[in-house]
Amino acid sequence: MTSMRWVVVMLALGGIVSVAAAGEQWVFLGTYTSPDGSQGIYRCKFDDTTGQLSKPELAAEMASPSFLAIHPTKKFLYAVGEGSGRDGGPVVAFALNAKTGQLTKLNEDKSGGPGPCHIAISPQGNMAAIANYGGGSTCVFAIEADGKLGRRIGFVQHKGSSAHPSRQKQPHAHCCAFNAAGDHLYTVDLGIDKVKVFHVSIKNGLEEDEDEDVTLPPGTGPRHMTFLPSGQGGFYVCGELNSTVNVVQGGKVVQTLSTLPKETPGNTTAECITSPDGQFVYVSNRGHNSIAVFRVKDNRQLEPAGHITGDINIPRNFNIDLTGKWMLIASQNGGKVGVWERDLKTGGAKETGQTVAISRCVCVKFVPVEK
């Protein structure tokens, strides 16, 4: 039995989302490793009543686990390492003990293309999708009942280029996301200004249909995407190269907004998430060093709602805890993870001053602590 009680909240948007009541949560942190810095995946214990975060402990040694994904059962964790070998970088499956926070390696495979930078698990927990940035490709593995990576069931090499003279000479897949039914997979490709849409299943693997791909304005450099918790109303994509958030509905971009309050040369966006209640979309700015806040309107389009600021240095990744009350922001170049308390009405957040030191943290994931 977990220490969390899960309550179902009916959203004004018409969807239903589970929100965790107060308790303790494990925070798993992905990092870029180095001989004198981080050594792999770290864990902290987070008290979501007080906002206190414990000192990071090494949970698993691994070379540059830059993105993590949690299985729907919370019993397994998956990580990619940004290797560049002929068969791609490592994709690793771990058993996750939610009582102790212990990770135990189950098995490992290769991503099929260089530079894996993102991994997503299907809602049914039977597939893992990997975006290969360096190779510009999408790879999908089956997941076995015991949590191990199974056979590779699909691989698609992306094709094309776009407007930016150096960043868009070729495909650069940056993010994968499954729809709620688990029968479609979306891969955001920075290099070709597209969100590629695939049909996916254990039986048929990865089926490409280029007619369903979503095209963004030239030079957008789409990086990450997020759905509303209800799974309705399209999705949101941040533009890394032009500092935007883009609303996609019906397979087309219907709205584009800047993530910046003023012109900030050299800024790039990174992460894009929705709040657990579906009321807000957040995008991190690297350069302006802030989190842009957008309110979700009744038509699922967005309106600017301010910026979260503070002691932030290159926020490649951030996340909202399971209660929705707290935001943890990882400063990749600041050597720390900080805690902000969210205002559930405005979507903003106040810096608490609670921080933990960790070198080059680039991913934050939550799991409820079991008792």
Question: What is the per-residue pLDDT for 83?
Answer: 75
Query: 329 - beta bridge partners?
Result: 318, 338
Question: What is the per-residue pLDDT for 80?
Answer: 98
User: Is pLDDT at 2 greater than 70 in this prediction?
Assistant: no
The closest alpha carbon to 140, from 77, 85, 180, 183, belongs to: 183
In the chain, what is the straight-line distance between the N-terminal and C-terminal CA atoms, in Å? 6
Looking at residues 1-18, what average pLDDT do you find?
39
Model confidence, pTM: 0.94
The mean pLDDT value of the chain amounts to 94
Report in angstroms the alpha-carbon separations of 84 from 90, 222, 358: 9, 22, 25
Please tell me the CATH code under which domain 6-368 is placed.
2.130.10.10
Question: What is the per-residue pLDDT for 13?
Answer: 34
**CA pair distance 341, 328, nearest whole angstrom:** 9
Q: Indicate the range of 16-30, 80-94, 330-344 predicted with least confidence.
A: 16-30
pLDDT above 70 as % of the chain: 94
In the structure, what pLDDT confidence band is assigned to residue 85 with cuts at 50, 70 and 90?
Answer: confident
Question: What is the per-residue pLDDT for 22?
Answer: 58
The closest alpha carbon to 149, from 226, 69, 208, 206, belongs to: 69
The domain limits of the chain are: 6-368
